[in-house]
Amino acid sequence: VLHRITAIVGTTAPREGEIFIGDDAAVLQGFAGQAIISTDVCVYGVHLDRDLFSLEDLGFKAVTSALSDLAAMGALPRGIVIGVSAPAGTDMEALHRGVSLASTLCDAPVVGGDLTSGVDISIAVTVFGECPGGGAVLRSGARPGDGIYVTAPLGRAAAGLRLARSGVSLDDELVLAQRRPWPRLREGLALRGAGVSAMMDLSDGLSTDLHRLADASQVGFALTSVPVATGATLEEALNGGEDYELLLTTSDEARLLLVCADRNVPAPIRVGTITSDVTSRTLDGDVLRRGGWEHRL
Amino acid sequence: VLHRITAIVGTTAPREGEIFIGDDAAVLQGFAGQAIISTDVCVYGVHLDRDLFSLEDLGFKAVTSALSDLAAMGALPRGIVIGVSAPAGTDMEALHRGVSLASTLCDAPVVGGDLTSGVDISIAVTVFGECPGGGAVLRSGARPGDGIYVTAPLGRAAAGLRLARSGVSLDDELVLAQRRPWPRLREGLALRGAGVSAMMDLSDGLSTDLHRLADASQVGFALTSVPVATGATLEEALNGGEDYELLLTTSDEARLLLVCADRNVPAPIRVGTITSDVTSRTLDGDVLRRGGWEHRL
């Protein structure tokens, strides 16, 4: 099994002097500047509906949702390691095809892994990257007066889940947004280059994640508009999770738009303004409560 | 739960400019030389007997067995991330107390983590470290004529498991070797400094792991002695897993002993010689088959 899996995920050749799978640990050449590291665990049936989505979806989504945390820092991926646990008889090749596809598309090679038996089908993905030319963008840098932006209209993943449950084809564009989310890595790099003051990824919904950014920055916010993706509802755009778009703030919109145009990434959409009163968190003047999905455990 | 766990595991202060838990990802200052990375998954009931050992043991052992892979490369730990999955009602604080104790004792801070619900109690530990002043020691560097060494007498963990099953106290020294294995990090650093030609950790037993080292180096071996720990049997020393001692080869025994004395680590014990015939793998002249524990999946 290990040999077959290695053949599936180990398709990216290491750089000169690097070693991926096969020794006690992977050996990578030095990182440019800071090392950025994050880990995510996805359990089939908890994070992804077993009746609607395949093991290939699980592998793909586990990798891209983890890489989204690198995008949120403005980091360039250097690699990932995966820890898989599954009962005997699980189609491990399907799971690892999803991992491999995501890894290849995102240019984030699988440099190591572990495989064990368990009752759950579970995959832990640890991602690591670097920030050449500068430091990572934190959640805590938003300042009063900064504009608040998102990288695209929201609610696609939540709409896709609703549609999948109603029997819409798995190849529907919104259903794909749920099954095969995409980390905004190119956007994150460009936005770091544009000197944005704070950034995070939208994993739990704007109405939850914007509170988190404001908490970390000790500021308030005035949301003035919520861009709703075609086919999604306002409620899905505001409270739906797993879009993995980026949420960011900056005081320099001109530079933001210039750098995004120069890097050929879509111009972020302004949704509001950071305010100084940490207790003032509004949407069109009304109090915006934390409404998104909260982790249950 | 997350706040309580963070209080337990987040006791090490980050270095200047570093961020551990709280943002989308951890931010570490640049690594000295290569970045060494490995991941291990431990499932309660698969890797550790639920009737004999506690969740604190699980957390401790998951961390130290993963760090052993850094020791095997001669790397210095920079940090770990943990992904925990468990059903509601699990004593998460006990699990994380074990993680925290191991992390503190090994000077490998927990810089991030994820927590989710599942049926299994499972912990994925990803470790990363650096190799200041030189490159990581691989399994593939053994050459004919090199001496083969281990860092201590073997079989303690297997003997400890046998004793625990027979009702011996959990505080027995050999039982502790099973419950609370210790990664040979100081030894690994010293041995890299001594210029050893190949190194790995003994996780599955000498009779399995020495074949792996010989396979990676494309050599044979002639084992001439197997140092048996007090209280263990020859069979446990040869085939028992989870000792996490280091297995190494070098052509320069004088330098090996000098550096180990200088670094105040015990002198490794010679167990045999590397030979050129890749098909010749012997113990006292008899063929030594792969006899250790093999992963079941």
Selecting from B46, B118, B138 the residue whose C-beta is nearest the C-beta of A23 gives B138
Question: Can you spell out the DSSP letters for A11-28?
Answer: -SPPPTT-B-BTBSSEEE
Instruction: Find, in chain B, the residue whose alpha carbon is nearest to that of A202.
Output: B24
CA distances to A78, A182, A186 from A263, rounded to whole Å, are: 20, 18, 8
Q: Is B3 helix (H, G, I), strand (E, B) or coil?
A: helix
Q: Which two tokens stand for residue A120?
A: 């759950």
CB-CB under 8 Å, B37 with A85? no
Return the closest-CA partner of residue A209 out of A197, A219, A199.
Answer: A199
Residue in the structure block whose two tokens are 């905004």: A184
- C-alpha A142/C-alpha A145 separation (Å) is 9
Secondary structure letter of residue B32 according to DSSP: S
Q: A–B: how many Cβ contacts below 8 A?
A: 223
pLDDT class of A8 with cuts at 50, 70, 90: confident
**B contact residues 182-211, partner A, Cβ 8 Å cutoff:** 200-201
- C-alpha A176/C-alpha A179 separation (Å) is 5
- C-alpha A22/C-alpha A1 separation (Å) is 14
- C-alpha A158/C-alpha A232 separation (Å) is 8
Mean pLDDT across the stretch A20-35?
91
CA distances to A218, B92, B129, B179 from B59, rounded to whole Å, are: 34, 10, 20, 10
CB-CB under 8 Å, A135 with B27? yes
Q: Is B119 helix (H, G, I), strand (E, B) or coil?
A: coil
Question: Can you spell out the DSSP letters for chain A?
Answer: -HHHHHHHH--SPPPTT-B-BTBSSEEEPPPSS-EEEEEEEEEBTTTB-TTTS-HHHHHHHHHHHHHHHHHHHTPEEEEEEEEEEE-TT--HHHHHHHHHHHHHHTT--EEEEEEEE-SS-EEEEEEEEE-TTSPPPPSTT--TT-EEEESS-B-HHHHHHHHHHTT--TTSHHHHHHHS----HHHHHHHHHTT-SEEEE-SS-HHHHHHHHHHHHT-EEEE---PBPTT--HHHHHH------EEEEES-HHHHHHHHHHTT-PPPEEEEEEES-TT-EEETTEE----S-----
- Which chain A residues are Cβ-neighbours of B140 within 8 angstroms? 23
- C-alpha A216/C-alpha B239 separation (Å) is 52
Residue A255 has pLDDT above 50, yes or no: yes
Ordered per-residue pLDDT tens for chain B, 297 residues: 777 888 888 778 888 889 988 899 999 998 988 999 999 999 999 989 999 999 999 999 999 999 999 999 999 999 999 999 999 999 999 999 999 999 999 999 999 999 999 999 999 999 999 998 889 999 999 999 999 999 999 999 999 999 999 999 999 999 999 999 999 999 999 999 999 999 999 999 999 999 999 999 999 999 999 999 999 999 999 999 999 999 999 999 999 999 999 999 999 999 999 999 999 999 999 999 887 554 444
Return the closest-CA partner of residue A223 out of A158, A268, A270, A191.
Answer: A270
Residue A292 has a pLDDT of 56
pLDDT in tens, A146-186: 999 999 999 999 999 999 999 999 999 999 999 999 999 99
- Which chain B residues are Cβ-neighbours of A114 within 8 angstroms? 39-41, 124
Residue B9 has a pLDDT of 84
Instruction: Find, in chain A, the residue whose alpha carbon is nearest to that of B209.
Output: A24
Q: Does B109 touch chain A (CB under 8 A)?
A: no
Residue B13 has a pLDDT of 84
- C-alpha A37/C-alpha B39 separation (Å) is 13
Predicted model pTM = 0.94
Residue A44's DSSP bridge partners are A48
CB-CB under 8 Å, B117 with A43? yes
Residue A42 has a pLDDT of 97
